[in-house]
Every structure is written in C-alpha cells, then in structure tokens.
C-alpha cells in the first residue's frame, strides 16, 4: 500500500514538473519571441508563422498540427506515444493560447538617446536579448520535460517517421526542418527579413544548447576514491543513505607502506555533495579524489543499449 502511494506521488510530481516546464516554454515564446517577431524552430515556429500570416492563435495551431502528426504517426509508427506526450501537447497548446491573449506587447524595449532637438525617440524592440531569453527558457523547459518523460511532439514525430524509411540521424532531420521553418520567415515577416532569419538561428542555437545542458547535466556521473580510517562507517552510510554501491579495493601507501582499503563509489554528479558530507562526518582527515565519468551504465544508471 505504501509502495502504491509512493508511486502515485512520484507520478503526480512528474506531471507537476512537466506542467511547470511547459508553462515556462510557453512564456518564453509568448513573452519574448512572438511579440518581437523572432522565430524559432519546431511546431511552435510553424504556429508562429501562421499567426503572423493569418492572426490565428499559436495555441490553436500547435494543437491542430500536433494532433495531425500524432494521428499520422499512429499509422506509420504504431501506438508508440504515451499519455505524457498527449498531455504535454494539450497543456502546451492551452498555455500558448492563454498567455498570448494577455502578452501582446514586447517585454523588452529600450529608448534611444534624444535627437538634436531634445525629443525622445520611440521605444525600440530589444530583439537580440529577446531571442536569447526566449530560446533559453524554451530550451531549458523542454529539457526538463524530457527528463520527466514528457515530450512536446512536433518535429520529433516527423523525424521519427522519416528515419523509419531513410538511413539518416534524427538530430539531422530536426535540424534541417528547423532551418526550413526559420527561413520561411523571409516570406512572412515584412521588415528586416534577413535579421529575422539571423535571430531565428540564434534562438535555435540557444534552445538546442540549453536542452543539451539539462539532459547531459542530469546524466553526468562522478567516480570517487576514498582513503579513510573509517571505511566501514563510510561504506555503510553511502549504501544505506544513498542506495549506492561501494567497491572495496585493497591498496598500499608507498610512503607509509601501510595497507588499507580504498572505497570506490560511482554516483550522479548531483549526489557528490552528499558523498563529501558523509566522508567529512565520519573522517575529517580522509583523503578523497573525485573525477567526472564519461558514462555509467547498468543498475541505477543508464541502460546498456545495443
């Protein structure tokens, strides 16, 4: 019974984090990108193009496009989309519609110096900062949603369908689709067409970097070697409190010629401070090294894939 309650609470927590992440993503688009006429990639980029051309809310376009892609993918790929993907699509569409209704003016404006007559010039949109902030917020939010099992669908679905029949990488397909979407802004945006494309590529780069930052940061692992006079106490606490395995290696200090156990622990990077705290509590004079590991595979870490 307790296990069931724990699983339910964990699932509710995941949905809450996904919902919060989708809100941040929608805020990045509606507060910084769309009002400043800065375009990004993905289905949100296509929806923004439609909004500029027709005035149809981006939330409606995001929902319709994703719904069509999901229906097509069910025929091509089979029922491979979980409830979190459908939930993410619906919630993202809702947030885009609601926020766009209220956030109609650019949030980042600056006023240039007065002219020779002392008159203040009109406010100017701060597009470069809007591109960085909007792309950064969207990328971080998408990355967080991915870590919780969520997905915004969109061009990922198109890439999966193409990769099923063509020997190309999914990342390359998504990149090419985003380039096409951003380049199409040349035919929709009236002024500063080339600048709009450049800003779009900035958004794409910042967004991709932030997604990778979240995903790789979440998977980073460390390997600690602990030389301590209290190996049993340290090992017991790491095992019991962190549920991490400890490997004991017999070693000899060449200077002292004393033999003693060396503890080796592999853990996620976010758990490194807990290891340091345990070692300090049990043996303040302990010697310890900690290195970043390229990858950790097996129980408690990533699965080994063929």
Q: Has residue 235 got a pLDDT over 80?
A: yes
Q: Has residue 112 got a pLDDT over 90?
A: no
Cβ atoms of residues 185 and 200 within 8 Å: yes
pLDDT (0 to 100) of residue 249: 92
Cβ atoms of residues 207 and 41 within 8 Å: yes
Report residue 124's pLDDT band, with 50, 70 and 90 as the boundaries: very low
pLDDT (0 to 100) of residue 279: 92
pLDDT (0 to 100) of residue 225: 94
Domain ranges of the chain: 2-218, 221-293
pLDDT in tens, 152-185: 767 777 776 776 677 666 667 777 888 888 888 8
Helix (H, G, I), strand (E, B) or coil at 206: helix
At 115, list the tokens: 């002219």
CA torsion through residues 296, 297, 301, 306, sign: positive
pLDDT in tens, 32-85: 888 888 888 888 888 888 888 888 888 898 888 888 888 877 776 666 556 777
Which residue would you say has higher pLDDT here, 113 or 18? 18
In angstroms, the Cα distances linking 4 to 1, 8, 10 are: 5, 6, 10
Strand ranges (DSSP E) for the chain? 109-111, 123-125, 221-227, 246-252, 259-268, 287-293
Hey, which CATH number is domain 221-293, 3.30.479.10, 1.20.1730.10, 3.30.70.120, 1.10.3720.10?
Answer: 3.30.70.120
Q: What is the mean pLDDT of residues 220-224?
A: 87
pLDDT in tens, 74-100: 776 666 556 777 888 888 899 999 998
């Amino acid at each position: 019974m307790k296990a069931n309650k724990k699983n339910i609470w964990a699932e509710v927590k995941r949905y809450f984090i996904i919902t919060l992440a989708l809100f941040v993503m929608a805020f990045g688009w509606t507060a910084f990108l769309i009002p400043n006429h800065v375009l990004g990639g993905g289905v949100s980029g296509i929806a923004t193009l439609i909004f500029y051309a027709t005035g149809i809310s981006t939330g409606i376009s995001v929902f319709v496009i994703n719904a069509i892609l999901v229906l097509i993918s069910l025929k091509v790929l089979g029922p491979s989309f979980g409830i979190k993907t459908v939930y993410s699509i619906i919630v993202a569409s809702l947030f885009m519609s609601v926020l766009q209704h209220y956030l109609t003016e650019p949030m980042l404006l600056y006023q240039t110096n007065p002219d020779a007559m002392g008159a203040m010039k009109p406010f100017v949109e701060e597009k470069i900062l809007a591109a960085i902030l909007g792309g950064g917020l969207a990328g971080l939010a998408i990355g967080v949603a991915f870590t919780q099992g969520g997905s915004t669908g969109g061009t990922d679905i198109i890439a999966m369908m193409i990769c099923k029949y063509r020997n190309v990488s999914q990342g390359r397909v998504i990149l090419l689709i985003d380039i096409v979407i951003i380049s199409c802004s040349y035919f929709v945006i009236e002024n500063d067409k080339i600048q709009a494309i450049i800003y779009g590529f900035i958004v794409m780069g910042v967004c991709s970097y932030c997604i990778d930052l979240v995903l790789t940061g979440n998977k980073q692992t460390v390997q600690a070697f602990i030389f301590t006079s209290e190996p049993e106490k340290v090992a017991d606490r790491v095992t019991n409190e962190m549920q991490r395995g400890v490997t004991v290696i017999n070693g000899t200090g060449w200077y002292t010629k004393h033999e003693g156990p060396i503890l080796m622990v592999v853990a996620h990077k976010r758990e490194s401070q807990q290891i340091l705290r345990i070692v300090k509590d049990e043996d303040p004079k302990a010697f310890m090294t900690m290195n970043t590991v390229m990858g950790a595979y097996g129980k408690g870490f990533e699965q080994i894939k063929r």
